[in-house]
Amino acid sequence: MKILVIGSGGREHALCWKLAQHPDTKVYVAPGNTGMCDEAVLVNIKVDDIQMLVDYAKAEEIDLTVVGPELPLTLGVVDAFREAGLACFGPSKAAACLEGSKAFSKELMKKYNIPTAAFDTFTDVEKAKAFVDEIGIPCVVKADGLAAGKGVIICMTREEADAAIDDMLSGHAFGDASAQIVIEEFMEGPEVSVLAFADGKHVRPMVSAQDHKRIYDGDKGPNTGGMGAYSPAPVYTEEMAELVNRTIIEPTIKAMEAEGAPFTGILYTGLMLTDKGPRVLEYNVRFGDPETQPIMMRMKSDIVPIFQACIDGTLDQVDIEWYDDAAVCVVMASGGYPASSEKGVVIHGLEKVKKDEAVVFHSGTTMNGGEVVTNGGRVLGVTAKDATIKGAIEKAYQAVEKISFDNMQFRRDIGARALK
């Protein structure tokens, strides 16, 4: 079987690692990165070159394509593959609006009574600022479109809120993505990521995970794409999972079907567990990064039949098994991240990490003169599994200590919330 993965980060490396475990399978990844060479054949095609991806899949007779990042999904890569008669796992362009437009997703939740923060959408600066007067401080200002995970500003003062509104609507801080903004009330409580497989009608949640967005220990500093994650999240109890499935995840799938855009693929629901109950922070329409890394390590089942069942509409007929073990991913990032990143810095010690200790998923690496070097903000995701969360944390950090590169950054408290 030939499987193509679209993407180049740690999430895609984890997917290649899991897919390569399927019998008699050859995995390709476009464009991939240096660290994926053990699991996949690298294909030099950009994620947004939809026609070239289709042409390649046809020429190579690819049996299944799995899409990692949000950009090609919102550009309609799944629609293009389907029109060419090719099997592709992910949502249609219409369904990908759940992530591609925060205004769309918030209006959908409002229409179908899916619990979320109070909000409104704006294109006018003065009306936006008047709404801040109404909901008060703190508040959250979000760019409507895709902004590479940086379009959400938590405003703790009125000055911060006004600046965020001005930057997005007048300053076009995120280009077309911030031509419209969403302003919503500030919510408090633990955050949980719940990923689920969906086939348009049926939905099967995965094990829970929590990520760490802030760059520094103790959740300090600016937001990032994610500095680490662990699974399971103890705060997400069986009772909470049942409530979320019944009031949020299943109603979302039904809502998308009712809107004429049935959702097939991965529904990622970012939740806040408030004192008033679980509320949706945001939807993503693909695997999360770095949540995918620990979740893939905990998946006992072969993932290929699950992808195929989602495409075929037979997800209700598939059993999905998980290891009871916990898993932890610690992200190692470049100097300057998240504002910038240092590229071309030599990475030492990768060969010291044994596969029975941890798996090093590559997020932003490349080769230069025979050496592995940094090539992005988030560089590596060091991921380990153990019978306990404490053991998984220890294993992950023991592996991290074997790796070094100049000005590297990593948090030393990934998973600590689970020990409280």
AA identity, residue 273: L
Beta bridge partner(s), residue 403: none
> 148 pLDDT exceeds 80?
no
The structure tokens listed for 53 are 């991806």
Q: Rounded to a whole number, what is the distance in angstroms from the first to the last CA of the chain?
A: 45
Confidence of residue 126 (pLDDT cuts 50, 70, 90): very high
Under 8 Å between Cβ of 19 and 25 = yes
Q: How far apart are CA 400 and CA 392, in angstroms?
A: 12
Neighbours of 194 (CB within 10 A): 25
pLDDT of residue 179: 93
Per-residue pLDDT reduced to its tens digit, 157-176 = 999 999 999 999 999 989 99
Q: What is the pLDDT of residues 365-397, one digit of tens each?
A: 999 999 999 999 999 999 999 999 999 999 999
pLDDT tens digits along 263-309: 999 999 999 999 999 999 999 999 999 999 999 999 999 999 999 99
Whole-model pTM: value is 0.94
User: What pLDDT, on the 0 to 100 scale, is given for residue 365?
Assistant: 97
Encode pLDDT of 76-116 as tens digits: 999 999 999 999 999 999 999 999 999 999 999 999 999 99
Strands of 88-202, DSSP E: 88-89, 119-122, 139-143, 152-155, 181-185, 191-199
- The mean per-residue pLDDT over the stretch 50-66 comes to 98
The answer to whether residue 150 scores a pLDDT higher than 90 is no
| 151 has pLDDT over 90 | no
Q: DSSP class of residue 138?
A: S
- Residue indicated by tokens 């704006």: 122
Q: What whole-number distance in Å separates Cα of residue 78 and Cα of residue 144?
A: 22
All structural domains of the chain, each given as residue ranges with its CATH number in brackets, are 2-90 (3.40.50.20), 124-179 (3.30.1490.20), 191-317 (3.30.470.20), 326-419 (3.90.600.10)
Give yes or no for a contact between 29 and 44, defined as CB atoms under 8 angstroms apart. no
Given this model, what pLDDT does residue 173 score?
Answer: 87
**With 80 as the cut, is the pLDDT of residue 253 above it?**
yes
DSSP E strands in 83-207: the ranges are 88-89, 119-122, 139-143, 152-155, 181-185, 191-199, 203-205
Q: How far is CA 64 from CA 7, 88, 229, 256, 264, in A?
A: 15, 6, 28, 24, 14
